[in-house]
Amino acid sequence: IQVFKDGLETLKRQFPNQTKRFWRILRTRCLAHLKEKHPRQPLVILLGAPPSAHPVANCLALRLANILDPETEHIENVETVNGKDLQNIEGDIAKKKLDESLHGTFDKGRRAAVVKHLELLPPPSENLFYAYCDNDNARFKHAAILFTVHLQMEPHSSLRPVEAEGMVEKFLSD
């Protein structure tokens, strides 16, 4: 737990443009999951980013996954699936590749994986995440899955946080 807390403090310094609300939510959700000896559900984090912050979202997801799973030691060892690599293949094949990657990672006891560009995954491959993220029925409740969504436009600066979060949901459902 202390390793995570220290790592999160480092992340806060490395990513100073994130809001206090963001860090509070992240800290609360992650610590609740890490403190559970037998979690009832996996930890699922969705990071939506406007065009100016796409690289930041990917970097933040990888670094957060790294501190959630001390076994990775280095950020390069974090299991990462990139929707860009799967976007032009048949959805069922993409789903199989996703499943093999995540299942192999979590079967080894690893605690975190990153899925970049969730928005680019071909249908119906994203349906696989019900098996990994659905609270009580999730396969690997000890796991954390961090998704990045690359929005196509900048949100208006007057949006409240809840409205900005709604933009991500709307973008994914369109």
Domain of residue 85, CATH code: 3.40.50.12190
Residue 68 vs residues 1, 7, 39, 62, 123: alpha-carbon distances, Å: 9, 9, 14, 10, 29
Query: What is the average pLDDT across 106-113?
Result: 95
Domain tally, the chain = 1
Is 76 or 32 the better-scoring residue by pLDDT? 32
Q: Is the pLDDT of residue 146 over 90?
A: yes
Average pLDDT over residues 108-135: 95
| Residue 114 one-letter amino acid | V
List C-alpha distances in Å: 28 to 16, 89, 111, 141: 18, 37, 17, 17
Spatial separation of the C-alpha atoms in residues 152 and 70, rounded to whole Å? 33
Full residue range of the structural domain in which residue 42 is found = 1-173
Identify the H or E element spanning 115: strand 112-116
pTM of the model: 0.94
- Measured on CA atoms in the order 102, 105, 108, 111, is the torsion positive or negative? negative
> CB of 150 within 8 A of CB of 54?
yes
Task: Provide the edge-to-edge strand list for the sheet that holds 144-150.
Answer: 43-49, 144-150, 112-116, 79-82
pLDDT at 41 over 80: yes
Q: What is the mean pLDDT of the chain?
A: 94
Helix pair angle (20-35, 54-68), 10° resolution: 30
**What integer pLDDT is reported at residue 158 of this predicted model?**
81
pLDDT in tens, 52-96: 999 999 999 999 999 999 888 888 899 999 999 999 999 999 999
Alpha helices in the chain (DSSP H): 2-14, 20-35, 54-68, 83-86, 91-107, 129-133, 161-173
- What pLDDT score does 117 carry? 98
CB atoms closer than 10 angstroms to residue 110:
22
